[in-house]
Each structure stands twice: as C-alpha cells, then as structure tokens.
Amino acid sequence: MSGLTVLAVDDVPPALDELCRLLREAPEVADVAGAGDSTAALRMIQSGRFDAVFLDISMPGLDGLELASLLARLNEPPAIVFVTAYEQHAVAAFGIGAVDYLLKPVRAERLADALARIRRVLPSRARPAEEYPATPDAMAALPVESAGRTRYVRRGEVRFVAAHGDYVRLHAVSGVHLVRMPISRLEEYWGPAGFVRVHRGYLVSLDAVRELRSDSVGGLLAHTDLGDVPVSRRHARELRERLLAAAKRGQLERRP
C-alpha cells in the first residue's frame, strides 16, 4: 500500500497546524490537507479522496461527531480518528465507527499507533455502492459572517429563503442571516432536503408550511411561523402536490 492521504480538521488554527505537522512527519503519510471547519472539510472530501480524516470534536456548526456520521454514509468512507482534548465523547466516537481516539496534545508515538490501525482497516472499509448515498450532506449548516465573526446556521432552523442579488436571506428561528450565494445554487444543495422553489426569488421548507392562503389580490401564500412566502402561479401546483405527497408519507414535521 502506498502512503496515506489524510485530511485534518480543527477550527483552532494552531492546533490544526500542529496536527498537520505531525502527520507530514509520519512516514506512513504521503499527503496531508487541512480544513478549518466541517463545511470546508466536506467540500474537500467531495472533490478528492482521502484514506483517513483526523477530526476535532468540538467545532461550531457541524461538530466532529456529526461530520463523522455523514462520512460514514459514503460509498467508500475514510477511516475516522478523533483528536480532542476531552475523553467524554469516546463511547460515542467508537459507536460511530472511529478507528482511534487521540487526546491532545498528540504524541508522535500515539499518532503512529493510529496510523497503523488505519492501514489495517482500510481494505475492509469499501461498501456496496447502492448501500449508501455517494456524497455527504455538504450544506447542513451555512457559515454566516457578521462583524468579523463566523457563526453557523443549521438548515433545520431555516423556514424560507429569499433571494437578494448575489446573496440569499435565510429566515431562521435565530433571525435573518445574509449569505453570499445565489438562490439557484442553494436550491441545488437544499432541494433534496425538502426546500422547494415557490417563486423566482423564494425557497420554502416543506415542513415549515403550516397552510396555504390567498392574498388580497388572489395570489397564493405559503404561511410559516416566520411569515408568508409568495407562491407564483407557475409553482403553485407543484407545491400543492409536494405537500400532499409529504403528508401522505408522514414526512411533514409538526412544529409548535
């Protein structure tokens, strides 16, 4: 077997740099890449193949355990090694199928043990292509920049999305958040998760729609707990059919 291709993920830059340095110095490793958060890691995994991912657990947005759960559904999942300062997540980590669990600060000899375990398990990790989806959910949380800080808005918080030029406004329970992304691109990412285009400038979460209403001029509105969303005539029939189909399958979430 040739040298391993490894991805290190940690939201603390000094910790990420140190982990990458240790991995590059390991003779078992051929190539190392680093990611500062789970969203960046998912994008890198979608565009390239990694034998193993070394994951911090405590990260904003998707934490390491959530990211590992997504990666486990890949057709050929990478080996997962958690790297954390805390011991309390060990049971959950191994329950997900982690190969190893390293405590910070990581020692070179302990890292060597983890890399040896990765080499032993890699040949048995391939799974039938039809058993799991081929790509992870790359946009379950979106980074939002504000006043020099980054926070993550989970898709489950969002009721509807409005286009705003090259940006979108996420109308979420935590507030309204502006993200630099065309609405057509977000529709590609969130369409499989139940977000439906109901107007040229709007997406709405199917399970956020409480009822359909008529406006004062005979137009259609999708009512959510965060406001009404206009529904164009072009999209009205599809929305009704999607809501009916979801209700029959019991897939509409009951919100208070």
Sheet with 52-55, edge to edge strand ranges: 29-35, 4-9, 52-55, 79-84, 100-103
Q: pTM for the full model?
A: 0.50
Which of 77, 72, 75 is CA-nearest to residue 93?
Answer: 72
Q: What is the dihedral of CA 133, 45, 123, 113, to 10 degrees?
A: -130
Each residue's pLDDT tens digit, 52-110:
999 998 888 778 888 888 888 787 889 999 998 877 666 565 666 788 888 889 998 89
pLDDT of residue 249: 67
Q: What secondary structure letter does DSSP report for 28?
A: T
For residue 168, the one-letter residue type is V
Selected from 3.40.50.720, 2.40.50.1020, 3.30.1330.20, 3.40.190.10, the CATH number assigned to the domain covering 153-248 reads: 2.40.50.1020
Q: Which CATH number fits domain 4-124: 3.40.50.1820, 3.40.50.2300, 3.50.50.60, 3.40.50.620?
A: 3.40.50.2300
Give the helix ranges, DSSP H, for 61-138.
64-71, 90-96, 108-121
Convert the pLDDT of each residue in 3-22 to its tens digit: 899 999 999 999 999 999 99
Q: Is the pLDDT of residue 147 over 50?
A: yes
3-state secondary structure of 34: strand
User: Token pair of 184, please?
Assistant: 């057509």
Q: How far apart are the first and last CA of the chain?
A: 54
What the block records as the tokens of 10 is 């940690």
